[in-house]
């Protein structure tokens, strides 16, 4: 399968990020001021590692980034990044223990996407389930006034996710990055100030 190579793909290679997705996070950070030095960040679905690298650059060595994914990555992270290969949603897994050991976090972020089938409603439903699982993880591990980012495919379930997030955060924002591919149905919901 041929990789989609646009200006963001080329820019990511030039700036030594493993994926173009980093520019989506940069856009959200610019708009919502999500990062600062010293923060603790939990990155769900972290591979191949672009979001983790960006978070590490922003929180610097006084901060911490705990990154989890089912897949491994060959990215070399700084010492204040803990990368765990495992299932973030399995309460019996080693990943769950490590995540809990470092809680609470200032920011929980998820760029997770389901394995797509090409069947619109199936893919939307799977995306919604991942976003809800991420929200439960955020509720469990965020500290006071923490923030949350999650990706979801556009569809009727977005309103349900927004409603759930509004019960946990003072502000919930809907964001479509310019760096998302034109044909992409992904959007991001950002929860600010955990109640």
Mean pLDDT, rounded, for 145-152: 97
Domain for residue 137, yes or no?
yes
Residue 2's pLDDT is what? 41
Q: What is the CATH number of the domain that holds 113?
A: 3.40.50.150
Q: Does the pLDDT value for residue 148 go beyond 90? A: yes
Domain for residue 12, yes or no?
no
Task: Please calculate the CA angle 3-175-189 and round it to the nearest 5 degrees.
Answer: 100
Provide the H-helix boundaries in the chain: 7-14, 22-32, 50-59, 94-102, 120-141, 157-166
pTM above 0.85, yes or no: yes
Q: Is 163 one of the catalytic residues? A: no
Domain for residue 63, yes or no?
yes
**Annotated active-site residue in 151, 163, 171, 173:** 151
Percent of the chain with pLDDT over 90: 76
Domain for residue 77, yes or no?
yes
Q: Give the whole-angstrom CA distance, residue 119 versus residue 28.
A: 29
Domain for residue 79, yes or no?
yes
Mean pLDDT, rounded, for 139-151: 97
Convert the pLDDT of each residue in 46-61 to its tens digit.
999 999 999 999 999 9
Q: Yes or no: say if 172 and 135 are a contact pair by the CB < 8 Å rule.
A: no
Convert the pLDDT of each residue in 154-191 to its tens digit.
999 999 999 999 999 999 999 999 877 677 789 999 99
Domain count, the chain: 1
């Amino acid at each position: 399968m041929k990789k989609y190579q646009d200006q963001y793909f080329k820019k990511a290679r030039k700036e030594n990020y493993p994926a173009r997705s980093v520019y989506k996070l940069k856009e959200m950070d610019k708009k919502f001021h999500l990062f600062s030095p010293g923060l603790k960040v939990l990155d769900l679905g972290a591979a191949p590692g672009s979001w983790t690298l960006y978070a590490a650059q922003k929180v610097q060595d006084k901060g911490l980034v705990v990154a989890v994914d089912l897949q491994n990555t060959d990215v070399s992270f700084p010492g204040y990044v803990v990368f765990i290969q495992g299932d973030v949603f399995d309460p019996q897994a080693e990943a769950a223990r490590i995540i809990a050991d470092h809680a609470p976090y200032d920011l929980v972020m998820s760029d997770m996407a389901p394995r797509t089938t090409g069947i619109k409603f199936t893919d939307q439903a799977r995306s919604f389930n991942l976003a809800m699982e991420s929200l439960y993880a955020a509720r469990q591990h965020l500290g006071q006034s923490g923030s949350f980012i999650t990706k979801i495919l556009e569809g009727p379930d977005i309103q349900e996710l927004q409603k759930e997030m509004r019960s946990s955060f003072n502000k919930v924002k809907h964001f479509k990055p310019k760096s998302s591919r034109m044909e992409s149905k992904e959007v991001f919901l950002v929860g600010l100030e955990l109640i």
